[in-house]
Amino acid sequence: MAAQSQYILPNDLPVALLDCEEAFSLLSTEEKLYTHFLSRASFYGGLIVLFQTSPESPAIYILLNRLFRAQEPSVLHGVAQSQGLSDEEYQALLVYTAGFFANMGNYKSFGDTKFVPNLPKEKLEKLLRASEAFTKDPKGMETLWKMVEDRMYSLEPQERQLGLGDHGISTYFSANCTLEDAELIQKFLDSKSISAYNTRLFKTQDKGSRAKYEVRLASVSKEGSADGSSDLSNLLGQFEFEGHEIQVTRGDYYPLLLRVRENLEKAKVYASNENQRKMLEEYGRSFQEGSIQAHKEGSKHWVEDKGPIVESYIGFIESYRDPFGSRGEFEGFVAVVNKSVSARFAQLVSAAEKLIASLPWPSSYEKDSFLRPDFTSLDVVTFSGSGIPAGINIPNYDDIRQSVGFKNVSLGNVLSVSSATEREKLTFLCEGDKV
């Protein structure tokens, strides 16, 4: 049975390449190395998104990664033809793979809807078994396929979208968590001044017994290894809260965050100023300890690092995909300044205070004093997360935005590609068209 159209990616879906070669080539050797190690940190951290999306996403990623690493797409095309796949079916696999990697999982980053391969499961299995990847490691590929074959294609009502409890899939929570559980734990976290940004929630409940909860913080350090200097040293352990047993642990994603921290340390050697060095130091401490407070300190230094040649931000950033809206998805980007476009944005920022006064709402909706933002146009070199936006306004910490400021980051090569793609596939009437 064919999947409903809203759950497949069409074969004519465009794939755009972001051009950053010229911008990167103009960097100094130190700036290139800084970009390189920040990019590695971002890519390692970006793998966390797979675990934040769906239970099957990590195994699908490994399966597809092995398949296309073992053989070039053009070579694999011949294998597909020998196994009875049509050109359209092989194209559907390529489109699914591109969509999966772009979204870092099998749910769309905009809309949170699941998408499945637009070719029969039996034909995909035949291709996998005939591939070089399967020949090299039949046991490993067999295990991966058995792990994902059903959920990769499943469109059960609960699995069609991200959500909590009966309303969808979420790996920020164990499958037995409900909205009431999320509300209870948020109340507990607030009472302890613990941010939910870098947490997941797991509930265990034996028949006839009360529920037990584990709040798991993302960190390299594991449970019980906090030292006295950490802002989490008194917040780890077991607590009673409103008649419930709640344990706060850490060490979630520690193998990946260890790689992130190691590459941030290497990048720090090539930082161009003290703000960048302190920023990376605090980010590293955040990922080591699981401390959002350390990430906030790093974010302050990031905001104060005005107009860098190489711009980056990394951490648990956006909470859109948490059904409860409190937990951040991992994101890391590295981009290089486009100097000519940035000069035009600087003029806009200079006039911003006067322009704000002309907007159609009263001044009471604005901050008491205008904090001049840093508005820079950048060409993306690396973006690791569930989809690349055209621009970013960060950090998302309200206290930092109010007291220190924020940055408006315009991603120029994303904007230019998006504009070209929209012209190719226009879905709106042009002025003068007749209905």
Question: For all residues of the chain together, what is the average pLDDT?
Answer: 90
Domain boundaries, the chain: 55-158
pLDDT digits (tens, 9 = 90+) for 152-186: 999 999 999 999 988 999 999 999 999 999 999 99
Which of the listed ranges 94-98, 385-389, 413-417, 422-426 does the model predict with the highest average pLDDT? 94-98
Q: What is the mean pLDDT of residues 23-40?
A: 94
Q: How far is CA 241 from CA 173, 174, 192, 390, in A?
A: 19, 20, 11, 43
What is the rounded distance in angstroms from the CA atom of residue 380 to the CA atom of residue 40? 14
CA distances (Å), origin 291, targets 43, 216, 255, 317: 21, 12, 17, 14
pTM for this predicted structure: 0.87
CB 34 within 8 A of CB 336: no
Peptide bond into 395 cis (omega under 30): yes
Q: Is the pLDDT of residue 2 over 60?
A: no
Report residue 183 CA to chain centroid gap.
Answer: 24
Question: What's the average model confidence in pLDDT over 382-387?
Answer: 93
Query: With 80 as the cut, is the pLDDT of residue 375 above it?
Result: no
Higher-confidence residue: 72 or 21? 72
Distance separating alpha carbons of residues 28 and 432, to the nearest angstrom:
50
Question: What is the residue-wise DSSP string for 102-170?
Answer: HHTSSB-TTT-BB---SS-HHHHHHHHHHSHHHHH-HHHHHHHHHHHHHHHH---GGGSBB-SGGG-B-
Q: What distance in Å separates the CA atoms of residue 297 and residue 398, rounded to the nearest whole number?
A: 13
Average pLDDT of span 205-226 = 84
Q: What pLDDT is stored for residue 230 in this prediction?
A: 62
User: Looking at residues 187-205, what average pLDDT do you find?
Assistant: 96
* Residue range 57-102, pLDDT digits in tens: 999 999 999 999 999 999 999 999 999 999 999 999 999 999 999 9
Instruction: Provide the token pair at 295.
Output: 């990430």
Candidates 191, 186, 188; CA nearest to 173 is 186
Which pLDDT band holds residue 103 (cuts at 50, 70, 90)? Answer: very high
